[in-house]
Amino acid sequence: MKRDGRSLAHNTLEEMRILAVQRMAEGEHPDDVAASLGMNRSWAYKIRAQARGRGVRALRSTKGTGRPRTLTPAQEQRVLRWINGKNPMQYGFDFGLWTRNLVRELVQQKFGVTLSLASIGAMLARLNLTPQKPLQRAYQRDPEAIDRWRHDTYPAIARQAREQKADIFFWDESGFRADSVHGKTWAPRGETPVVERPGQRQSMSAASAVNSKGAFWFATYEGGLSGELFVTLLKKLMFNRKKAVHLIVDGLPAHKKAIVKDYVASTQGKLTLHFLPGYAPDLNPDELVWSHVKRSGVARSPLQKGEKLGPRIHEQLAQIRRSPKLVRSFFRHPSVRYISDL
């Protein structure tokens, strides 16, 4: 029975070719050599002819180059420039996220070449592009205001706080639900897994203030935030506090109520409010606190029978307060690295 050389590894075939040529050079007949190795007789004559003039080098295995790419490296780089950081709608598509099919259509429009989806995927991988869930940002964002905040406004706040020997805190609020489930779990294909949770729709709100040095303050409450409740929470934040506080908040209407302004004025400089640029939550490290809590709390470990949401949220926030190292880690995120108490 003859062997099919295509079923053998390249290194095995290489050793067989070299051995066969050596045996034929010692006087053994090609037919006998081929038969002993289980190969067709023509194989022996073919490799002997290859070895003439070039020797063993002609028998070495070489890596297959495969089918040549349709697009040149320069063209692939042009594709990268077209889609990296760009919106498909800029090219006339009616969908705002890049897919392999949209990239294929763009390549066809620009180069007149039709590629398979697999080829598009391979090209995107070579360009170091991966499918990712995009961050959502409001189109009302003002890039100039954000740039001023990073390079002018916040550094000025930090210098003022240093001169006053005051603390800088970032403030934010968030809501929690007992029936919220984040993340994924493993299950057989086509069989959606079931996670048991309380049937009652418990909800809870919380406010917190975070400091780049590792300090963390929080309070929980029910319902939405009003100006009156914001003042109550600010009083709790300032209770028995020796240093002045520069508190950075977002532009929520409750933060700008007249009752809030009156309370801040009554502290005679002990508390100062500063407002972040609009539609820029990524500038606030306290947003990262909520992201951490919601990814690691009730969403991952649902409430047990008879358990209440409020105490669970309170304990989780208390754990953060007991870990200054964790608190400081939030300030290492790229979006908030501009923060430093100069």
**pLDDT at position 187, please?**
66
Structure token pair of residue 272: 């100062």
Q: Over the stretch 271-309, which tens digit does the pLDDT of each residue have?
A: 999 999 988 889 999 999 998 988 876 555 666 666 788
Q: Report residue 180's pLDDT band, with 50, 70 and 90 as the boundaries.
A: low
Q: Which one, of 332, 295, 336, 331, lies nearest residue 316 by Cα?
A: 295
Spatial separation of the C-alpha atoms in residues 21 and 27, rounded to whole Å:
10
pTM metric for this prediction: 0.61
Please report where in the chains the tokens 């890049």 appear, as a residue: 98
Sequence-separated (6 or more) residues with CB below 8 Å from residue 113 = 70, 71, 107
**% of the chain residues with pLDDT over 90:** 51
**pLDDT at position 66, please?**
65
Decide if 197 contacts 179 (C-beta within 8 A).
yes
Decide if 87 contacts 96 (C-beta within 8 A).
yes
Q: Over the stretch 301-332, which tens digit does the pLDDT of each residue have?
A: 666 666 788 888 899 999 999 999 999 999 99
Q: Report residue 159's pLDDT band, with 50, 70 and 90 as the boundaries.
A: very high
Spatial separation of the C-alpha atoms in residues 18 and 28, rounded to whole Å:
14
Q: Is the pLDDT reported for residue 182 higher than 60?
A: no
The C-alpha angle 85, 154, 164, rounded to 5 degrees, equals 165
Written as one letter, the residue type at 342 is L
Beta bridge partners of 217: 209
β-strand pairing of 245-249 with 271-275: parallel
**pLDDT at position 33, please?**
87
Q: How many residues does the structure list for the chain?
A: 342
Coil, strand, or helix at residue 256? helix
Spatial separation of the C-alpha atoms in residues 272 and 260, rounded to whole Å:
11
- Residue 43 CA: distances (Å) to CA of 32, 38, 40, 64: 12, 10, 5, 20
